[in-house]
Amino acid sequence: MAVSARDVARVAGVSVSTVSRALARPHEVAPATRVKVLEAARGLGYTPNLAARSLITGRTGNIGLVVPDLENPFFASVTKGVQSRARTAGYAVFIADSDEDPTQEAELVRNLAKQVDGMVLCSPRATDAVLAELARECVLVLVNRESGDIPTVTIDNHEGTRQAVAHLLALGHRRIAYAGGPTTSWSNRQRAAAVEAQGALHGDLEVVNLGSFQPYVSGGIAAGDLVLASGATAVIAYNDLLAFGLLERFRQRGVRVPDDVSVVGTDNIPVSALTSPGLTSVGIPLVNTGRAGVDMLLHLVRDPSTPPTHHHDLTVQLVVRASTGPHGGDVALRQLA
Amino acid sequence: MAVSARDVARVAGVSVSTVSRALARPHEVAPATRVKVLEAARGLGYTPNLAARSLITGRTGNIGLVVPDLENPFFASVTKGVQSRARTAGYAVFIADSDEDPTQEAELVRNLAKQVDGMVLCSPRATDAVLAELARECVLVLVNRESGDIPTVTIDNHEGTRQAVAHLLALGHRRIAYAGGPTTSWSNRQRAAAVEAQGALHGDLEVVNLGSFQPYVSGGIAAGDLVLASGATAVIAYNDLLAFGLLERFRQRGVRVPDDVSVVGTDNIPVSALTSPGLTSVGIPLVNTGRAGVDMLLHLVRDPSTPPTHHHDLTVQLVVRASTGPHGGDVALRQLA
DNA sequence: TTGTACGCGTTATCAG
DNA sequence: CTGATAACGCGTACAA
């Protein structure tokens, strides 16, 4: 059925090994035979059988990506970046959705490990111990999480928080709340610490950590009332989805944004530009994050020696939209709280 | 490095073929040796080399998915469904993003074809001719598009449109606009025709087809002014993203939704519940669409004979939110237009 | 019931 | 520069 190197060899009048060489290392073969082989191959529509190749080379030309939820815009964008970069590098991408379940996550990695040269694990939920074990079984690159000395791509959370706080300070806010994500989330711990650090840095700034919430709209709805009760005039959310929940809850309670409260999200997922009011957000280069993960992975895969970049910290950029504004009279706010 | 069937055979004290049988067809081997093999395999952590297996069986245990844009919530949800169903069926999923480019689409299919048992093509942009050619080269299932006699999963566009129109009629609207998607889109042609059909069906209903727009927010912004100029009091959009653009443009022009104009989207992507006002939308079971695609594909792959279900039409359900309301006095609207 | 032998399609080795 | 041969790990006739 399918045309094999053997067929090409017959047509070109050479041996199978010559066919293999002519395609893999053209300079190791005489120009005359090279064109003969290439023409025969193209004429027959020959494509190497990758399974057979990987059987002998031990490499697959594939990479794997595991994310907690493909429907989450954050991961959708990262996935896009991974796929894009892998494609230009000639790699195909296996995708797996762990449904936020750490157990499945490890299982998915193990299932895919045998079919790929390496894997990108995005915002992994697994414990450090499990990750260390997985890293022993296959080449791994972490995204949005540090764990041991596993190669990783992260976001500059401290800088992002700094920009958000600076923006709010400039608008006159002096009491800022932080609505956090899951305590188990590495990036949430980073961001919470960064907010505290900013509070310590500015004498005239009060920071209120409201605790942990689900990193979805539901979590933001729960957090909304706490924000109002805290007396803060601005709130920074763990991520944009949570920020949307805040906006929704404020709307329900008749609190105006940004007149009464300013809201800053994190991630700047595409939809954040579409809501009303537009969401001010700590912009993360989501697609580039995926690309960076693949770059690091391929670096590791192709160069077994320890590369210089075991860690890549991506820069962020605050995107200001209508959900933040000057701190006005907060009398109305207090009445509501 | 990796443990092979040979190692298991040595430990269990049997031959390689017995190992192979004990795992593939346990009943064809003596119970005693079976447990011996299984224990040895588990003890060594043996997992069959899939490349080697596929080399001999001709099947890979993988499927491929090609979508135009992973960041588009519609495709993200379908992808989630594909991955979910494939996983429970024991299949791994290759993902590819064509960036809306028909040329790349065909190329991606060809690249992946050799590594998969079949592919799901979601909302393919390619021409019928190209699709027919691809279908000859590998097992194909189309989603959201009909082409020749290629197996396909579609949406009941006519019924969706009927529900949308019935809803608007019940609210008192008598002049309804349709803001379409790309003319090259199969589903847009379906929906445009369905809207016209509804217009012909109801004597007291006027339907205005506004033409084609980009199926993104940008397209909706462009369409917004045409809606107002058309004198329609309600508009049905090709998809939710386009509907968001309409909402945005109406906001810019000071037109209130739903007081002045009602807006109905299509797809009911997750974010449609988050905007303000919430978007009334023709709900498509997005995740199930992906699942249905995989079901059909696996059916084809495992049963070479023509299956009874070459076509699966998914039901839809209008989801009513705040973007639609009773038709009030349209005097204010005419003034704006 | 179990073992032997072969072949899947490719690349690597080595002899020529 | 080229060709024969072995090997990758597994499944499957066929023989025992």
The candidate with the shortest Cα–Cα distance to B184, out of B242, B108, B101, B265, is B101
Q: Report the domain count for chain B.
A: 2
Give CA separation, B148 vs B128, B152, B311, in Å. Answer: 7, 10, 12
Q: Are residues A290 and A280 in the same domain?
A: no
Cβ–Cβ of B95/A95 closer than 8 Å? yes
Contacts of A313 (CB under 8 A, 6+ apart): A154, A155, A156
Query: What crossing angle do the helices spanning B31-44 and B16-24 adopt, rounded to 10°?
Result: 100
Instruction: Count the neighbouring beta carbons within 10 Å of the beta carbon of residue B306.
Output: 10
Which amino acid is present at B113? A
Residue B71 within a domain: yes
The whole-number pLDDT of residue B29 equals 87
Nearest CA in chain A to B46: A114
Give chain A's largest Cα–Cα span.
Answer: 90
The whole-number pLDDT of residue A172 equals 95
CA atoms within 13 A on the CB side of A259: 7
Residue B6 within a domain: no
Task: Report the alpha-carbon distance of residue A320 to residue A334 in Å, rounded.
Answer: 26
Tokens of B230: 């058309």
| pLDDT exceeds cutoff 60 at A332 | no
Lowest mean pLDDT: which of A2-6, A119-123, B214-218, B227-231? A2-6
Task: Report the alpha-carbon distance of residue B66 to residue B55 in Å, rounded.
Answer: 24
Contacts of B158 (CB under 8 A, 6+ apart): B190, B194, B197
Nearest CA in chain A to B79: A70
Q: Are residues B145 and B172 in the same domain?
A: no
Task: Report the alpha-carbon distance of residue B301 to residue B36 in Å, rounded.
Answer: 34
Residue of A79, A267, A274 to mutate for B, most B C-beta atoms under 10 A? A274
Average pLDDT, rounded, for chain A: 94
Percentage of chain A exceeding pLDDT 70: 96
Angle, CA A314 vertex, CA A310 and CA A316 arms, to 5°: 165
| pLDDT exceeds cutoff 60 at A333 | no
Task: Report the alpha-carbon distance of residue B283 to residue B181 in Å, rounded.
Answer: 17
- B56 - beta bridge partners? none
Residue B49 within a domain: no
User: Residue A47: its chain B contacts at CB < 8 A?
Assistant: 114
Pairing assessment for the beta strands B234-237 and B262-267 based on DSSP bridges: parallel
**Percent of chain A as helix, strand, coil, to the nearest 5:** 50, 20, 35
Q: State how far residue A88 is from chain B, nearest Cα, in angstroms.
A: 12
Cβ–Cβ of B83/A95 closer than 8 Å? yes
The candidate with the shortest Cα–Cα distance to B152, out of B274, B309, B318, is B309
SS3 assignment, position B296: helix
| pLDDT exceeds cutoff 60 at A155 | yes
Q: Write the pLDDT tens digit of every residue in B260-291.
A: 999 999 999 999 988 878 999 999 999 999 99
The candidate with the shortest Cα–Cα distance to B205, out of B213, B195, B215, is B195
Q: State how far residue A202 is from chain B, nearest Cα, in angstroms.
A: 35
Residue A54 within a domain: no
**Bases of strand D lying below 7 A from some protein CB:** 1-5, 7-13
Side by side, which strands form the sheet with B206-212? Answer: B206-212, B175-180, B234-237, B262-267, B280-283, B317-319
Cβ–Cβ of A96/B87 closer than 8 Å? yes
Q: Tell me the DSSP string of B75-101.
A: HHHHHHHHHHHHHHTT-EEEEEE-TT-
The whole-number pLDDT of residue A331 equals 44
H or E stretch at A143: strand A140-143
Tokens of B254: 């000071």
Cβ–Cβ of B83/A71 closer than 8 Å? no
Provide mean pLDDT across the span A30-40.
93
Task: Report the alpha-carbon distance of residue B73 to residue B76 in Å, rounded.
Answer: 5
SS3 assignment, position B142: strand
Residue B117 within a domain: yes
Residue of A46, A55, A93, A95 to mutate for B, most B C-beta atoms under 10 A? A95
Cβ–Cβ of A92/B112 closer than 8 Å? yes
Please confirm whether the linkage preceding B68 is cis (ω < 30° from 0): no
Q: Are residues B163 and B264 in the same domain?
A: yes
φ/ψ of residue A209, rounded to 5 = -90, 115
Q: Are residues A210 and A132 in the same domain?
A: no
Side by side, which strands form the sheet with A262-267? Answer: A206-212, A175-180, A234-237, A262-267, A280-283, A317-319
User: Residue A54: its chain B contacts at CB < 8 A?
Assistant: 51
Please check whether residue B185 is in contact with residue B215, taking contact to mean a CB–CB distance below 8 angstroms.
Answer: yes
Q: Write the pLDDT tens digit of every residue in A47-79.
A: 999 999 999 999 999 999 999 999 999 999 999
Residue B28 approaches strand D within 7 Å at CB: no
| pLDDT exceeds cutoff 90 at A297 | yes
Nearest Cβ partner for B51 among A51, A69, A95: A51
Q: Are residues A133 and A176 in the same domain?
A: no
Cβ–Cβ of A276/B275 closer than 8 Å? yes
Q: Write the pLDDT tens digit of every residue in A183-241.
A: 999 999 999 999 999 999 999 999 999 999 999 999 999 999 999 999 999 999 999 99
CATH number at residue B262: 3.40.50.2300
Q: Are residues A82 and A227 in the same domain?
A: no
Provide, in whole angstroms, the distance separating residue A38's CA from nucleotide D5's C1'.
Answer: 24
Nearest CA in chain B to A137: B2
Nearest Cβ partner for B244 among A92, A248, A274: A274
Q: Are residues B223 and B107 in the same domain?
A: no
Return the closest nucleotide (C1') to the Cα of A32.
D1
SS3 assignment, position A36: helix
Q: Tell me, rounded to whole angstroms, the distance of Cα B137 from its chain centroid.
A: 22
The whole-number pLDDT of residue B22 equals 92
Q: Are residues A123 and A272 in the same domain?
A: no
User: Residue B255: its chain A contacts at CB < 8 A?
Assistant: none
Q: Are residues B109 and B149 in the same domain?
A: yes
Tokens of A61: 């030309």
Residue with minimal CA–C1' distance to C7 is B56
Residue A13 within a domain: no
* Ranges of chain B whose pLDDT falls below 50: 330-335, 337
User: Residue A97: its chain B contacts at CB < 8 A?
Assistant: 80, 83-84, 87
Q: Write the pLDDT tens digit of every residue in B182-238.
A: 999 999 999 999 999 999 999 999 999 999 999 999 999 999 999 999 999 999 999
The candidate with the shortest Cα–Cα distance to A292, out of A122, A148, A161, A125, is A122
Please confirm whether the linkage preceding B258 is cis (ω < 30° from 0): yes
Nearest CA in chain B to A58: B51
The whole-number pLDDT of residue A98 equals 98
Residue B75 within a domain: yes
The whole-number pLDDT of residue A337 equals 46
Q: Tell me the DSSP string of B17-50.
A: HHHHHHHH-GGGS-HHHHHHHHHHHHHHT----H
Please check whether residue A62 is in contact with residue A30, taking contact to mean a CB–CB distance below 8 angstroms.
Answer: no
The whole-number pLDDT of residue A307 equals 63
Cβ–Cβ of A115/B50 closer than 8 Å? yes
Q: Are residues A272 and A330 in the same domain?
A: yes
- The range of the structural domain enclosing residue A100 comes to 62-154+286-310
Q: State how far residue B205 is from chain A, nearest Cα, in angstroms.
A: 32
Q: Tell me the DSSP string of B239-290.
A: SHHHHHHHHHHHHHTT--TTTT-EEEEEE--GGGGTSSSPPEEEE--HHHHH
**DSSP letter at A279?**
P
Cβ–Cβ of A114/B244 closer than 8 Å? no
Cβ–Cβ of B71/A270 closer than 8 Å? yes
Instruction: For chains A and B, count residue pairs whose Cβ atoms are closer than 8 Å.
Output: 120
Lowest mean pLDDT: which of A2-16, A221-235, A306-320, B268-282? A306-320
Residue with minimal CA–C1' distance to D12 is B17
Task: Report the alpha-carbon distance of residue B312 to residue B141 in Å, rounded.
Answer: 11
Cβ–Cβ of A55/B71 closer than 8 Å? no
Q: Are residues A121 and A269 in the same domain?
A: no
Nearest CA in chain A to B64: A94
Residue A200 approaches strand D within 7 Å at CB: no
Residue B13 within a domain: no
Please check whether residue B286 is in contact with residue B257, taking contact to mean a CB–CB distance below 8 angstroms.
Answer: no
φ/ψ of residue A332, rounded to 5 = -60, -40
Q: Are residues A106 and A200 in the same domain?
A: no
Residue of B1, B67, B70 to mutate for A, most A C-beta atoms under 10 A? B70
CA atoms within 13 A on the CB side of A205: 24
The whole-number pLDDT of residue B28 equals 86
Task: Report the alpha-carbon distance of residue A237 to residue A192 in Å, rounded.
Answer: 10
The whole-number pLDDT of residue A304 equals 66
Provide, in whole angstroms, the distance separating residue A20's CA from nucleotide D4's C1'.
Answer: 14
Contacts of B84 (CB under 8 A, 6+ apart): A97, A99, B287, B290, B291
Whose tokens are 């917004």? That residue is: B224
